[in-house]
Amino acid sequence: MASGNDMKMHESTYSGFTGLVKWGAIVTVLVTAFVIYMIAS
């Protein structure tokens, strides 16, 4: 279990992780939409 001293580092790491997941999902949706568009045309 993390001690109270590690909470700032934990919050920073978690914030970075959630940001990467958010932007990764957005990029994945855009690439998928582009591929579907290219296949359909």
> In this predicted structure, what is the pLDDT of residue 27?
98
Structure tokens at 30: 């855009």
1-41: per-residue pLDDT in tens? 556 678 888 899 999 999 999 999 999 999 999 999 999 99
- CA dist., res. 38 & res. 41, Å (int): 5
pLDDT of residue 4: 63
pLDDT of residue 21: 98
Closest CA to 28 of 38, 17, 20, 40: 20
Nearby residues of 2 by Cβ (< 8 Å), 6 or more positions away: 10
